């Protein structure tokens, strides 16, 4: 571990390789377990099913039109008159053929208009169906898009205290979820294709999105509106689980961080509280009460770090804290100037935040 901590790449070439290698390693670690789904073609909720039905209808109609256009083109090529040296440069028009062509164009145009109107009607009906999800006794979440991560606030619910987490939402399968969307800086877009369509998050404007996960699983979401340098690396996970599992998760998340008896971890907490880390991050139950970065109270209960970019392992945490911009160029998290021993101690303590 000390060799890893002390290693400082000396060339830009090595720096370029590091993010790619780390990203591949992160996805390999995720693939080793249950890889999150991210596909609008595999709906896990009623709204996503409605959207898929509209997609299938649109694909069938557009595919049929495309095939008809190709067929008409081939027929026209086969029927086209062939010319030779004796052919007049300006052939006489065939009135009967002209009338037949005109009728064909009118018929094709009429069918195209009818199909387009049909797709508009299907789109409107789908939109109405999406808005009719019953939202009695929903789970409420306040989600704020930041550059470039997601802050999630769970308000108090049924006597359970509220709490703040980041980059990973847990919801009970079969129960509606109402997400209040906010943007902390620029425009973002909430999109979890297995559960619903896209919804913009606009600075200064409150909006909501409702969905219901009917199938337990882990679903990957993504910011779908360009929001800056790290837009493509602003992901999240939505974990749909049984009501009992969700209740246990929520109860655990509402608690403060548990102190560790390990000497190295205790030293790491002291270093964390004395350094600039405590000015940006909150760890409930400690002196760290910063609000600029994600709440780290139960950091190790999350599957990923850096907004879904890397698997949440101590090795990735070490690299991330030492030089965040080497792994995620453009990130607003600064490198923390810690000695190798202090860095190991901080990572050991973060590893206890279950």
pLDDT, tens only, 221-258: 999 999 999 999 999 999 999 999 999 999 999 999 98
Write down the H helix ranges in 136-236: none
- Quick one: pLDDT at residue 91? 64
Which residue ranges make up each domain of the chain? 15-37+256-350, 46-76+98-130
Q: Can you name the CATH fold of 15-37+256-350?
A: Immunoglobulin-like (2.60.40)
Q: Of 141-145, 203-207, 302-306, 329-333, where does mean pLDDT reach its minimum?
A: 329-333
Q: Of 84-93, 173-182, 282-291, where does mean pLDDT reach its minimum?
A: 84-93
Element (H, E) at 80: none
**β-strand pairing of 177-183 with 207-211:** antiparallel
The dihedrals phi and psi of 308, each to the nearest 5 degrees, come to 80, 10
pLDDT of 159 higher than 90 = no
Model confidence at 27, pLDDT cuts 50, 70, 90, reads very low
pLDDT of 113 higher than 60 = yes
Q: Which of 124, 122, 164 is nearest to 143 (CA)?
A: 164
The dihedrals phi and psi of 141, each to the nearest 5 degrees, come to -135, 140
Q: Averaged over 282-298, what is the pLDDT? A: 94
% residues pLDDT > 90 (the chain): 71
CA distances from 35 to 27, 31, 190, 285, 314 (A): 9, 5, 20, 33, 20
Token duo for residue 275:
């350094």
CA distance 145 to 207: 12
pLDDT of 160 higher than 90 = no
pLDDT of 5 higher than 90 = no
More confident residue, 145 or 30: 145
- Quick one: pLDDT at residue 24? 46
Q: Which of 195, 140, 182 is nearest to 162 (CA)?
A: 140
% residues pLDDT > 70 (the chain): 89
Which residue carries 């901080």 as its tokens?
346
Token duo for residue 105:
């164009």
Helix axes 314-322, 12-32, angle to 10 degrees: 150
pLDDT of 25 higher than 50 = no
């Amino acid at each position: 571990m000390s060799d890893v901590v002390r290693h400082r790449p000396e060339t830009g070439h090595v720096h370029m390789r590091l993010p790619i290698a780390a990203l591949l390693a992160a996805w390999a670690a995720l693939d080793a377990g249950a890889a999150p789904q991210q596909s609008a073609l595999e709906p896990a909720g009623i709204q996503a099913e409605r959207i898929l039905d509209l997609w299938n209808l649109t694909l069938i109609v557009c595919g049929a039109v495309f095939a008809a256009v190709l067929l008409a083109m081939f027929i026209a090529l086969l029927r086209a008159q062939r010319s030779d040296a004796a052919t007049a440069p300006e052939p006489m028009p065939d009135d009967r053929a002209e009338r037949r062509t005109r009728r064909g164009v009118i018929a094709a145009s009429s069918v195209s208009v009818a199909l387009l109107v049909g797709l508009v009607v299907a789109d409107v009906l789908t939109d109405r169906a999406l808005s009719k999800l019953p939202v009695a006794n929903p789970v409420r979440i306040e989600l704020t898009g930041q550059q470039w991560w997601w802050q999630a606030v769970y308000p108090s619910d049924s006597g359970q205290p509220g709490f703040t987490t980041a980059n990973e939402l847990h919801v009970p399968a079969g129960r509606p979820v109402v997400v209040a969307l906010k943007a902390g800086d620029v425009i973002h877009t909430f999109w979890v294709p297995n559960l619903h369509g896209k919804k913009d998050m606009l600075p200064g404007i409150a909006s909501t999105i409702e969905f219901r996960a009917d199938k337990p699983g882990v679903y990957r979401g993504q910011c779908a509106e360009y929001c800056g340098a790290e837009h493509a690396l602003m992901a999240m996970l939505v974990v749909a689980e049984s009501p009992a599992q969700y209740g246990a998760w929520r109860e655990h998340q509402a608690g403060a961080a548990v102190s560790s008896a390990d000497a190295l971890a205790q030293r790491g907490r002291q270093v964390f509280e004395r350094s600039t880390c405590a000015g940006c991050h909150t760890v409930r139950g400690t002196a760290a009460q910063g609000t600029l970065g994600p709440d780290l109270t139960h950091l190790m209960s999350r599957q990923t770090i850096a907004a879904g970019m890397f698997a949440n392992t101590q090795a990735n945490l070490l690299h991330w804290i030492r030089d965040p911009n080497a792994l995620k160029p453009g990130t607003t998290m600064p490198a923390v100037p810690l000695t190798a021993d202090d860095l190991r101690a901080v990572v050991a303590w973060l590893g206890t935040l279950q």
